[in-house]
A = this chain, B = another copy of it.
């Protein structure tokens, strides 16, 4: 029987999404799964869940910045805290869905990787139209077509639909993972995800 995909929800402005994006395909592949990537807007899920970003909590702020960098280093990844953080990511996400629907999942995932790496290792501000166009060109895309896509009501609507579907599926943060209906939230659930893929529900879990 074909195993279902591992659903991976991410936001282009989420440091832990960046870290998870670098391991999720390999972990899934080790267990015969493909990954279905979903670009979402964390701000929308936060509103629904009555949450706010970690760095807006006074005591948590310094810790959060330290943990972003430390968790990336722990994973062996380059990381540079963007000066502008967090940023609006709807344009980057619309380009993701435009690529997904017109060129296929692989093209969309390549764009996701390019965006996350550009923002979290080089500080490329994905909310700045000029920088986003330059990144699109650098990534081998038609930059004008990308700009048209993120301004197009079709892709604005697509992103809204995707966000609503994510919220309906229980997604309240990023990165968020769904494996056969089992939800895992956070880059720090990597070890649990890996074991779940290998063995299914843990012994003793009802």
Q: Which residues of A contact B (CB under 8 A)?
A: 45, 48-51, 57-60, 62-63, 66-67, 69-74, 76, 78-79, 167, 170, 172, 183, 185-186, 188-189, 191-192, 195, 202-206
- Taking the full assembly, how many copies of this chain does it contain? 2
- For A66, the chain B residues whose CB sits under 8 A away are 183
Q: Are B63 and A57 in contact (CB under 8 A)?
A: no
Q: How far is the CB of A84 from chain B (nearest CB, A)?
A: 19
Closest to A185 in B: B63
28 contacts between A and B (CB under 8 A): A45-B59, A48-B59, A49-B57, A49-B58, A49-B59, A49-B60, A50-B57, A50-B58, A57-B172, A60-B172, A63-B170, A63-B183, A63-B185, A66-B183, A67-B185, A69-B205, A69-B206, A70-B205, A71-B192, A73-B203, A73-B205, A74-B191, A74-B192, A74-B195, A76-B203, A76-B204, A79-B204, A186-B188
